[in-house]
Chain A
Amino acid sequence: MRAVRRPLVGGILLSAALVAALAGGVALGSVPLPPGAVWSALAGSGRDPTALTIVRSIRLPRVLAGALTGGALAMSGALFQALLRNPLAEPYLLGVSSGAAFGAVAALTVIGPALGTLTTGGFAFAGGLLAIAIVFRVAWTVGRVDTRVLILAGVVVSAFFGAGVMLLLSLARGDVFRSAVLWTMGSLDGTSWNGVGLLGLGALATAVAGLMLSRHLNALALGEEAAAHLGTPVERVKRIAYVAASLAAAITVSVAGVIGFVGLVVPHAVRMAWGSDHRTLIPLSLLGGAVTLVVADTVAQTVARPLVLPIGVVTAVLGVPLFLVLLRRAGA
C-alpha cells in the first residue's frame, strides 16, 4: 500500500529545493568564483566587472532557462502520459526531437553555409512542428484522434527524421559534424534572456492548459468513453492538451536541444510520491522538473571543468540509477 504524503507539503519541499538549486547554479559554474563575489554581483554592488558579467549575464539566464526547460518538459510528459494512458509516454513521442534535430542539423550543415549564419533554434522549432504536423495529419480522421495510429505515426516519423539526420551528418565536414552532434545532445550554456522569455511563455502556457484541464485529465484515466460519460469533451481536451504538450517540447528543443529522460521520469516520481491527481501533478511536475534540470546543468558545468558536458548525458547518467532506486522502493 502506498503512503501518500500531502501534496502541499510536497509543494513546499520542492519549492525550497528549487530555490537551493537555483542558488547553487548561480554560485557554481565552469569558472570557480568565491561566494562573496557571487553575492555582490547579484546584489549589484560588486566591483569586479568579470564576475558581474559571468553571474548576471551568463549564469542567471542559464539557470532560469534550466528551471523553465525542466518544468516544461516534465509537464509535457505528464500531459502525454495522461492522454495516451501510457506510463512510457514522453514529450518526444510524436517525433518532436527527431524533427527538431533534423531542422537544426539541416541548418548547420546545408542551409546555414549556403545562406550565411542563421538561427539553428528557429529551424529546430520548424522541424519539430513539421514532425508533429505530419503525425497529426495521419492520425486525425473524421474529427477524432486515433491514439494507436498516433503512437505508430510518431514512431515512424521519428525514425524517418532520425535517418535524415544521419544522412546529413554523414555528408558533413568535421567541425560542422561535431557542432551538429553536440547540438542534439542538449546545452543551456549561452542562453540569452530572450530565450528565457520564450521558455517562460512556453512553460506558462503548458501550466495553464494543464491546470485548466486537470479534472478531465483525471477522468481520461478511465478511458475515453467513460470520461465522455463523465462530461469530458474528450476530443477538445485531446486537441488542446496535445498542442500544448507538443509546443512545450518543441520550444524547449529549439532553445536547449534534446534533453531526454526528464519528461518521462519526473512525472512518474511525482506520481509515486504524491498521487495522480492532475491538479497537484501538474504544478509538482513543474517544480520537480525545474529542480532536476538545474541540478543536472550545474553538474554538467562543474564536473569536467572547463569542459561543459551535454546536459542530456547528465540527466540520463544521474537520473537512471536514482529512478531505479525509487522503483525498487515503490515495488517493495
Chain B
Amino acid sequence: MKKTALLIAALTCATVSLAAAGVSGAASDGGSKATAGTLTGAGATFPFPLISKWIPAYDQASGTQVNYSPIGSGGGIAAITARTVDFGASDAPLSPDQFTACKGCVQIPWALSATAVIYNIPGAPQGLRLTPALIAQMYLGSVTKWNAPGIKKLNPGVNLPDLKITPVYRSDGSGTSYNFTDFLTKTSPTWKDKVGTGTSVSWPTGVGARGSAGVTGVVTRTDGGITYADVAYALTNKLKFARVQNQAKKFTLPGLRSINAAASSVGKVTGNGEISIVNPAKSQPLAYPISTFTYALAPTASPKADELRKFIYWAITSGQKFGPALLFAPLPKQVLAFDYKQIKKIQAST
C-alpha cells in the first residue's frame, strides 16, 4: 500500500516510455524479415476501417499477412521514422521537418474521405446548413447559442432552440483534427491567427474527449453539442451532420459524390505528394469542403521492399473497391499516376 503512489507514478512514466518503445516493441522485428510473408504497419485511425477490409482480402489475394495498429497519425509518423514498422500511415501530411527526420521516406496518398460536422440539437433535422465562418466562430467561442441570427438566417423553417453551443474536440492527436483545423485555417483569418492547423492544437473553448467514439459520445449526451468525425463513423452511428458551405456558396453533405468533386480539384501531384482538397475552388460546386487524403508512409530503402510495393500497389488499385461502402472515394487518376512513381522509389535495402 505504501508504494501505491510511487507505483502509479512509475506506471505513468512507464506507460509513457512504453508508448515509445511499445510501438517499436510490437514490431521490432519488422526490419529483420522475421517471416517472408508479413508486413507491419501503424498509424492513423481514420483509414483503419478500410485497411481492416484490405487485410483479409490481400491475405487471400497474395498470401502476405499485413498487421496494422491504429495508434494515430503521430504514432505512425514516429514509428516509420524509427523504422520499427514496415510502413506508417498518417492523415496529416508530413511537415518538411518530419520529412527530414524520416530520412528517405515517401508519402503515398492511398485513400480519400471526409470529416463530418456532427451536432446534437433536439428537434433539429439532419443536414443543418452551416458556413465555415459560423463553425469557426463556434469553436472560437464568439457564437454561443444555436438560435444566433447567423444560424437562423441560413436555416429558415428549422426550429432552433435557445441552447448553448458546446464545441467538442479531440483531446488526442488526430488526423481528423488536422483536417478540421486545416479547413478552419483556410476559411477563417481569425482562426488562422489564433489557433492554426495541427493534429492537436490549443483549442480556445469547448470540451475535449478521446477518439471519435469519445467526441461523439459527449455530443450525443450533451444537448447543443457540436463535433467532427470521419463521415463513415457518423453514418454508422446514425448521427446528424451538417451541410457545409463550399467556395461556390453551395451547402453540401459529405458523401461519395461530394468527396469525388473535391478530389477532382487536384491538379498534377508533385513534390512530396502533399495534397490539400480542403475548401476547393468554386469551380467544384458539388464539392464537400472538409475532404482529405490519407497517406501511407514508406521508406525508400526497405528490407521488405518487394512486399511493400506489391501491397501499396494493390491497395491503391484493387483495394479501392472496398472504399465506397465505407465512404472512401476512389483515388483520382492524377493521384494514382503520382503514386505509381512513388511506389517505384521503394527499393530493397542492402
On whether the two chains bind one another, the answer is no
